[in-house]
Amino acid sequence: MIDKEKAKRKRYLFFDIDRTLTAGGYQKSYVPESAKLALAKMRADGHFLCLATGRSQAMALEYMRELGFENMVSDGGYGVTIDGELLGITPLPKDKVVRLVRECQEKGIVWGLQTDNTKVRLIPDDRFLSVTKDPYMESRIVPGLDPEDFPELFKAYVACTPEEEASLESLKDLPHYRFFKEYLFVEPMAKAVGIRRVMDHFGADYSDAIVFGDSENDLSMFVDDWTKVAMGNAIPELKAKADLVTTDVDDDGIYNACISLGLLTANCK
């Protein structure tokens, strides 16, 4: 049950990007006009708007600026940006990533690393590019690449089949997700961690937060501390945890959710 009285107070809204704020797929994404209108109205009304993405902070900065956001939970919950300033990113446990890379090396499985907050993935040779033909981010070949040479490791990438994935014992100790069929993203999936960090930064009550999501990596922020909104195009597991299921992202999903939450009036278009 949505508490309409809460909607009158300042709310802290956290939005996943793909298939939540943006429609059209990864390479042809766009923000529906109704979502733009809703964001502008809520921003004008003094609500706090924040992205909540699995992308690295560097990879998501362009989206943040294009969408008019100044705040972001990035890196799957391990990074926080407030008022355009990065407060920090917690790396993955280095020992566990090193074990994963060593196992990949032993089994001849292709891998890559993200060692800093940039748009560049490091790979030891050209096999990753050959296997994935990946458009997501730039890859730079570093001959002799060794995870031990870096003080911090933020993400890893493993180009493998589902059968090879099942054989990697070290993967069981690390969060991972297959966004593309060709390879795995080994990255944090703890968006609630970053959201709590933002709320604590402002001394805000967790119950004043509202999260919007659609996919498996949003399950980590669908906790009972705050209001949870699933898009109409969300996976069933997310809808089952939601306090509100709105329409699809390309069917005024954000706009309709904000009306249902009492943040907008039905005639504000």
Q: What is the pLDDT of residues 91-105, one digit of tens each?
A: 999 999 999 999 999
Predicted local distance difference test score (pLDDT) of residue 9: 87
64-76 pLDDT, tens per residue? Answer: 998 889 999 999 9
The fourth-level CATH superfamily of domain 6-90+189-260 is HAD superfamily/HAD-like (3.40.50.1000)
Q: Within a 10 A sphere around the Cβ of 31, how many other Cβ atoms?
A: 19
Structure tokens at 173: 């100790």
Q: What does the pLDDT read at residue 63?
A: 85
Distance CA 75, CA 106 (A): 28
Q: Output the pLDDT for position 26.
A: 65
pLDDT at res. 8: 66
Structural tokens at position 130: 């050959």
Buried b (16+ CB within 10 A) or exposed e, 45-54: eebbbbbbbb
Q: What class has domain 94-186?
A: alpha beta
Per DSSP, the residues of 173-188 read GS-EEEEETTEEEE--
Task: Tell me how far apart the alpha carbons of residues 36 and 21 are, in angstroms, rounded to a whole number.
Answer: 9
Low-confidence ranges of the chain (pLDDT < 70): 1-8, 26-27, 266-269
Q: Which residue spans of the chain are classified as CATH 3.30.1240.10?
A: 94-186
Query: Residue 105 CB: number of other CB atoms within 10 A?
Result: 12
In the chain, residues under CATH classification 3.40.50.1000 are: 6-90+189-260
Nearest residue to 70 (alpha-carbon basis) of 81, 80, 79, 59: 81
pLDDT at position 5 is 55
Cβ proximity of 157 and 121 under 8 Å: yes
